[in-house]
Structure 1
Amino acid sequence: MGNRSILSSLWRNDDHVSDETGDHSRARSDETTTTTSSIDTSSSSSSLMAKLRSQPLDTSSILYPTLTLHPSPIHHNILVLSLSHVSNAPPTLSNDELFNVLLKRLEPWVGEEGEGGYVLIVLADEDHSGKEKEKRNLPGIAWWVWRWKRLPRKYRKNLKRLYIVRPSLFTRTLLPFIIPFISPKSYSKLHPLPSLLSLYHAHKVPLKGIDISLSVVEAESRVLKERPDIIPPTPPTRGKNVGTEAVPTLKRIDSESSLASWGYQTISSAMETAASYLPIPHFGLGSYDNQQSPLVSGNKGYWGRDLDDLIRAAEGNVNGGIPSLLVDLGKAILQECIRTEGVFRRTSNSHLVPTLIAILDVPISQQPNLPWPEIAKEDPLLPPKILSRFLGDMKEPILTNSVYDLIRRTRTIEDIKTRFIPSLSSSTSLLLNYLIDLLHQLSLYCETTRMNSLNLAIVIAPVLIHGPDPIEDTILCLEPSKPIPPGLRKMAEINGLNLATEEGVDEGQRSNTLVGMLDMWIKDYPIS
């Protein structure tokens, strides 16, 4: 979202912009009657600007560019219209007035007729949260059709694709019947989609730059629960070409087809569009192309990645080489989770987990902006769960069994500084330093979270190691001051593990564990 600061002139509503809007309205007064009806007259514009002066209007979250291009063959700018953010507009503005303001914001990206073009993604989910604020009632489909017919020609002509993500049942039922009779060319641009993820998986459209609200994440969760086939199956072996399941697509009609053909294609497409929203088998309704699945080819998401590759990809960013996901999760945890008892220890049963996992499995360079502070506020246990999953789902464990003996011999902070950290790779050292810093700051709120440095070490240690012997891993995740349970000790001896104790230490106890080392590190961070 920070990249949009360079476009601030598009979103301001001061007196200067007000004058421009007045000039814009007067310039359009000489056009045809149809064009003139879509733009405010001088008197209505003055009334609108008076309202904007009394109530500043920020449309940067309602209509904004993603600063990315649509994939071939339509290489044009992508813009997003988020209906869930419409409630941020002043309630005194009518839908007609708000539409004209958004039209003004859209104009720089439209270009002149026959030159340039743009792609519009409509996130059709409404914001159902916030009972204390007045809810804006969005107009029905008749209003949108009426507005579309009265748009200046360049807005319609230069629109190359229109994606409507999760349209309502009423909208997706009527659109296939209405749009062809308005304009067959317009209908060929229309792509109603059941899910935001299908925008990427079915159409290869990058999700980068799209700001997802909590209501959008919740809507995605409901859709994916009913339609898990939206996401292509993950291949059983990484790197292999695996075929994907058939997924319905919306048929297009030729702009030169006859009226009879329009009618046939309209009915056919309406049935297919309706079928794409129902959990029924899809026979002969199209499929993903036979190209390699986006999850298999090229760049990957955050799951099952090599740590060195992730750190290398993040080099040069504003986070100092730390993956953006970790930074966003860390900020959300320290902002919203510090008042929750048992954070990291208690697990989240949120229905949003599968959706977040699916979104984070999209290639990192293609991922949308997730509202982690909102998610953490809704469920403070969810960001720690995602962070723990990330750490435990690496291609290789963060700490391999090659450092186990060194962990056992690490008894002081000086040992961590002079022995343990120098033995790590630069990527592992960078990640652990960030993680320990986060846990240290979180431990300062132990009075409310009931999670001191030892408790945090106990819950985070198991996700950092995954050696060939689970018994050895289990012993390393015990508190160093407590004896090894007899049953666990016996299994360790059967496996041939060396549990010899040091001189002066009682039988049944060991030198140190990963939990003990992490406890010291978290408690005394930063190491001077």
Structure 2
Amino acid sequence: MAGQDPTLSTSHPFYDVARHGILQVAGDDRFGRCVVTFSCCRLPPSHELNHQRLLEYLKYTLDQYVENDYTIVYFHYGLNSRNKPSLSWLQSAYKEFDRKYKKNLKALYVVHPTSFIKVLWTIFKPLISHKFGKKVTYFSYLSELREHLQSDQLLIPPEVLRYDEKLRNLHKGLQPPPSKKPPPRPPLPTQQFGVSLQYLKDKNQGEIIPPVLRSTVSYLRERGLRTEGLFRRSASAQTVRQVQKLYDQGRPVNFDDYGDVHVPAVVLKTFLRELPQPLLTFEAYEQILGITSVESSLRVTRCRQIVQSLPEHNYAVLRYLMGFLHAVSRESIFNKMNSSNLACVFGLNLIWPSQGASSLSALVPLNLFTELLIEYYGKVFSTQEAPGSRAPDAPDAGEQGSPAPRQRARMDRP
């Protein structure tokens, strides 16, 4: 089946809908917002899909992300008379997505719109608020979408890619010839984003913890631990790019100048997401996916084994970061960011496959693994449990505390 996810279990509560791959979650956009994609070409004929179940599955999936700022990418290609839901269903669906879903939806990108979309807009206009209407952006080509998103993280169906190429070929004569791209420049000696941990270490006098990570963590420890929704909110893309440029030029960054604690939070996530290889490494991806098959009482031990197998540099940086996120979770009564919420934000910024993007069902083990690292930080990164354990770079003061008492059991999460 097109879009079938090999990691999807038949025990999934919405397996009958999820198996089609209609909905996917694909990392963050350039504003630091989670991206959810909806692909019409994956919709089976209407008689093969219960549209009420589809609506319930949409809500079930979005419920995991609506507390954060998020973006939806709607791939319109593939909607036809055989699989098109009725207008009455669309109207009832729109009404069911109440303020809870609309409040933190920051952008709805419609790719390859047709006249059908314009007709729909006319029908729905009386129901759609002006504020919501401003969130909708239409893209005729994927190249326009890629200006707003990390294209390598998007799970774009092959059918959509072929259709986009066909459109571009049809309109090639109407457009100026594309300019030749200059060869990629070697990184600057002061480059901080998009370069390896080893490069950063070599260019920073052997410093293990990358400067961007240390400065953002230090600032957030001092000013952000009790900020409600820390890491959930987005920030101005222009401001984030400006900060990145300062770092890459080796110039000082003072986050007080921006008056927004969410700026360093998004910069931190951006730094992790732009590493050439994820902090948890490509090699550990399959091991991490297996965490849900481990008996619940042994999962922390398994997490410890996996992180112990990481390269020493990655281990040290991960330990430093998890120590900070553990400190954030200890203030969850103020910031509303417990280990589970933080895991939903950081899972895809710490690990992704070497080819393509993570599937929606892969998020369950990825987020669970991240949650265990944060909640059981003291046990996972303890140097006393195993003889000969390495002692990584010592984290900042206050990072080595034992885990805070759990508010509810998480070890038995499937």
TM (norm. structure 1) is: 0.34
Relative contact order, CA 8 A, sep 6+: which one is greater?
2
- State TM-score, norm by structure 2: 0.43
The structure with the larger Rg is 1
